[in-house]
Chains A and B, each alone.
Chain A
C-alpha cells in the first residue's frame, strides 16, 4: 500500500522533469537549425548587398533589411521610450490613486494585445492618409508596442527604490520633480533592462510591419517610403520561394542575425543585472 503511493509520487515528480525537457527541446532545435542553416549566409555581401532580383542566377544580401530593421527600431525607441518612461514615473510616483491603477491595468492588458491589431491601427492612421507603406508608419506602430511594456517595467523598477530615499530627498527640500529624476537614476539598470527587452521584442515583430512599413527591394529612400525589414523578408522569402534557393538561404541567414541580436540583448541584460535587482 505504502509502496504504491511512493511509486506514484516518483512518477508524478518525474513527469514534471519530463515537462521541462519537452519545453527545452524546441529551443535547442531552433537554435541548432537556425545556426546550421543560417551561418553559411554570414559574409560581407549579406550586410552590403541588396536582395537577389528575380533574374536567374542572381545572388545578393540583405543589407537593406538590416538597415531597415535598425531604422524601424530606432524610430520606435524614439517614440515609445520617452512616453513609456514618463508614464511609468507617473504610475510609481504620482499614481497612488484610481488613475494610476487604471493606467497600470490598461498597460498590462495592452501588453498582451495582438500585434497584428497594432498594424491595422497604423494602416488606418498612417498608411491610408499618406498613401502608402512607410518607415514612419512602421516605426510608430512598433513604438506604440513598446509604450505599455516600458511603462510597466519602469513603474516596477521605480517601486523597488526604497521609500526612505524619497523621504530623505523631500526632507532636504529637494523638489518633487527632481526627486523623481533621482529615483529614476537610482533605478537606472532596471529601467534600462525594461527598455532593452522592449526593443528586443519589437525587433522580432513581423505582423504589424506587413500593414505599416511594407517591404522594399531598395535601400532606404525617405521616411514616407516603404522600408525593408529582416522579419518581413524572412516571412516573404520562406513562403514564396522554393527550399534551397538563394532566397531560402538568405531567410535563414536573416533568422540567424535576428536570433543573435534578440538573444544577445536578453542574455546581456541578464548578465548585467544579475545581483543588482531582486528579479530572478
Chain B
C-alpha cells in the first residue's frame, strides 16, 4: 500500500515539475530580458521617447520603431477586424451547416501559412500590385488626408501600409475564429427575442447577437493586436526597415520586432546588444499585457471550452 502511494506521488510531482516549466518560462522571459538589457535600461525613458537610433554613437531611441509597430498594428486592426467579423458572422449565423466546417477550415488555413512565406508573397506578389494599382488610387481620392500623402512621385511597394495589410491578412484567422466561437456561444433565445420584435436577420445580429458576444469579440481583437504587434519576419520583409516617422503610410518604416531581427546578428558591442534586448523587453511587455487582457475577457466570458482552447 505504501509503495503504491509512493509511485502515485512521484508521478504527481513529475507532472507538477513539468507544469512548473510553463510558469518558470514566463518568469524567465522577463528576468533574462530585464538583466540582458541592464546597460541601457538605466538610461530610463529616453529609450522609448528618443527618436534617434545610432548604434555607432551609442544613442538608442526606439520611438520610430514603436511608432511603426503601433501604426502597422492599427492598420491591421482597421482592415482585419471588419473582415474577420464578417467571416465570423457568416460562419456562425448565415452559412448552411454543411458548408460551415469547410469554410472555417479554409480560413484557419491562413494561420498555417508560415510567416516567412507571407513575407515572400507580400514582397513579390502583393507589394507590386499595391504599388501599381492600389496606392495611386488611394492617393488620388484620399490624398486630402495626410496619411495618404507622399512627396515622392513613384510610391514605394515596401511601406508601413504594405506591412499593415500583410498583418491584416495574418490576424484574420485568430480574430475570426475567436469571434465565431463567441457568436456561437450566444443563446438562441437572444436571436428569437429580436425576431419576435420584428427584427430582420441583420438587425437581430447587430442588436442582440453582437452585443451579447461583445467581450469575446474584444478578446479576439486583443489577440489579433498581440499577434500583429509581435510579428517579425513577414513585416521585416515588406516594411523597408528605415527608422522614420513621416506621418505618411506610404513611407517605409521599422518595427521593434524587425529591428531585433535585422540588427541582432550585427550587434557587436555590449551596449548595442543591451539596447536590442530592451527593444525585445518592450515588445514582450506590450504583447504579454494584451494577451492577458484577452485571456481575462475570454475566461470571464464563458466557460466555453472551444473559445478558450483556440491556439
- Chain A residues with a Cβ under 8 A of chain B: 5-6, 8-9, 12-13, 15-20, 22-24, 26-27, 29-30, 33-34, 82-87, 89-91, 93-95, 99-100, 102-103, 105-117, 119-121, 123-125, 144, 147-149, 151-153, 156, 159, 175-177, 180, 197, 200-201, 203-207, 210-211, 214, 231, 234-235, 238-239, 243, 251-252, 255, 258-259, 262-263, 266, 270, 279-280
Q: Is chain B's binding surface mostly helix, strand, loop or mixed?
A: helix
Q: Cβ of A214: which chain B residues have Cβ within 8 Å of it?
A: 265
B63 interface residue per 8 A CB criterion? no
B260 touches A116 (CB 8 A): yes
Q: Cβ of B85: which chain A residues have Cβ within 8 Å of it?
A: 19
A87 touches B15 (CB 8 A): yes
Residue of A nearest to B14 (CB): A86
List 20 extra interface pairs beyond A94-B16, A175-B8, CB under 8 A.
Answer: A19-B89, A23-B172, A83-B18, A90-B18, A91-B19, A108-B295, A109-B288, A109-B295, A110-B25, A113-B287, A116-B283, A120-B36, A120-B264, A156-B309, A175-B4, A177-B7, A204-B112, A235-B233, A255-B120, A279-B309
Q: Report if A110-B90 is in contact (Cβ < 8 Å); known contacts: A5-B200, A33-B125.
A: no
A sample of 5 cross-chain residue pairs with beta-carbon separation below 8 angstroms, ordered by A number, consists of A16-B90, A87-B15, A108-B295, A110-B25, A115-B230
B8 touches A30 (CB 8 A): no
B22 touches A147 (CB 8 A): yes
Q: Cβ of A207: which chain B residues have Cβ within 8 Å of it?
A: 115, 232-233, 257, 261
B109 touches A90 (CB 8 A): no
Q: Cβ of A100: which chain B residues have Cβ within 8 Å of it?
A: 19
Task: Report the Cα distance A259→B120, complex, angstroms.
Answer: 12
Task: Report the Cα distance A119→B284, complex, angstroms.
Answer: 12
Q: Cβ of B121: which chain A residues have Cβ within 8 Å of it?
A: 26, 29-30, 33-34
Task: Please pick, from A6, A9, A120, A258, the residue contacting B114 in the complex, using a CB distance under 8 A.
Answer: A258
Q: Which of B45-53, B98-106, B149-157 participates in binding chain A? A: B98-106
0/1 per residue, B182-219, Cβ < 8 Å to A? 00000000000000000011110110000000000000
Task: Report the Cα distance A112→B292, complex, angstroms.
Answer: 10
B284 touches A113 (CB 8 A): yes
B82 interface residue per 8 A CB criterion? yes
Within 8 A of A (CB), among B256-285: 257, 260-261, 264-265, 276-277, 280, 283-284
A117 touches B18 (CB 8 A): no
Q: Cβ of B123: which chain A residues have Cβ within 8 Å of it?
A: 238-239
